[in-house]
Amino acid sequence: MIFLWLIPIVVLLSFALTAGLRRYALLRSIIDIPNARSSHSLPTPRGGGVAIVLSFLLTLPLLGWGQLVPLDVLIAVGGAGGLIALIGFMDDHGHIAARWRLLGHFTAGGWALFWLEGFPAIQFFGVTYNLAWAGGILAAFYLVWMLNLYNFMDGIDGLASVEAISSCLGVCLIYWLSGFTGLIWMPLLLSMAVGGFLCWNFPPAKIFMGDAGSGFLGVTLGVISIQAAWASSQLFWAWLILLGVFIVDATATLIRRLVRGEKVYEAHRSHAYQFASRRFGKHLPVTLAVVAINLFWLLPVALCVVLLELDGSFGLILAYLPLIFLAFKFNAGGLERVDETAQNPS
């Protein structure tokens, strides 16, 4: 408990760094200018997610020094997260071709899996499967999809931030109640780093996260979830449940766009959360709705999986069914109507 002082320090550091990055973005004209594919209406500085990256990565040596997190896990998270943040930072300041970004993404995933020693055996509908090398390949695609879907879902004020905070704090509660207290530190400090940034990103946002922050969050959450899988298969299912809003919306949108033959790497605003924000005319109701879903639906189901030994795969299906309904209710991956293109909530 001697390291509890890290919690307020990380929040304050992230808050201060975000303020500095906002000033930097304004001076360097690193501004997100609204266009036909935007979900906002006012020019806004971007790149504030670097504050999350720095304030979290700076804690890793302390966690290692205090022997609170195994060294191999720290190297996995720090290396993968740092590389993805660097790629995102360069993309925020210019443009990196999609193929080179993807190569960097798989490199980061491979790095993390090397230090985590791959992906463990997983229990699926009561049967334990050891996928060996195939599990490693699937895990690499999982990490790449996690970081990209987080980038896709970072489209309205505060959404990516509240998803990370509620998921991390939810899993911290699960770790504590189930006796896996040794796993708490990384999601706890990550949520604090995001919390300092959220003060500037809460609707109406004064700065956006940018690719550096969103990609970093996606890959870091993915790596931490695989770390949890090595401790307990049920914990991995809990992570997938808690991240369900992002996973379902992004996956449903991707599938529908692929079916139509669209270039999925091009910018668009056809996610369910984007349709919802245009329907309500504001970002805030959608952001708060995601918090409510996470707290009052996904967290209880995840708790049942870990504490009541509900089968994880069944719990995932149970948790996702209403999310799939909502995704299609709000037309995830659908084409915009002409009247919707004129609506652009701030």
Contact (Cβ atoms closer than 8 angstroms) between residue 302 and residue 315:
yes
How do the pLDDT tens digits run along the chain, 346 residues long?
A: 567 888 999 999 999 999 999 999 898 877 876 655 555 567 789 889 999 999 999 999 999 999 999 999 999 999 999 999 999 988 877 778 888 899 999 999 999 999 999 999 999 888 888 888 899 999 999 999 999 999 999 989 999 999 999 999 999 999 999 999 999 999 999 999 999 999 999 999 999 999 999 999 999 999 999 999 999 999 999 999 999 999 999 999 999 999 988 877 777 889 999 999 999 989 999 999 999 999 999 999 999 999 999 999 999 999 999 999 999 999 998 887 645 544 555 4
Binding residues are: 151, 211
Sign (positive or negative) of CA dihedral 187, 188, 190, 195:
positive
Q: How many Å from the N-terminal Cα to the C-terminal Cα in the chain?
A: 42
- H, E, C per residue of the chain: CHHHHHHHHHHHHHHHHHHHHHHHHHHCCCEECCCCCCCCCCCEECCCCHHHHHHHHCCHHHHHHCCCCCHHHHHHHHHHHHHHHHHHHHHHHCCCCHHHHHHHHHHHHHHHHHHHCCCCCEEECCEEECCHHHHHHHHHHHHHHHHHHHHHHCCCCCHHHHHHHHHHHHHHHHHHHHCCHHHCHHHHHHHHHHHHHHHHHCCCCCCCCHHHHHHHHHHHHHHHHHHHHHHCHHHHHHHHHHCHHHHHHHHHHHHHHHHCCCCCCCCCCCCHHHHHHHHHCCCHHHHHHHHHHHHHHHHHHHHHHHHCCCCHHHHHHHHHHHHHHHHHHCCCCCCCCHHHCCCCCC
Contact (Cβ atoms closer than 8 angstroms) between residue 105 and residue 77:
no
Contact (Cβ atoms closer than 8 angstroms) between residue 48 and residue 193:
no
The predicted model scores a pTM of 0.93
Binding residues for Mg(2+) are: 151, 211
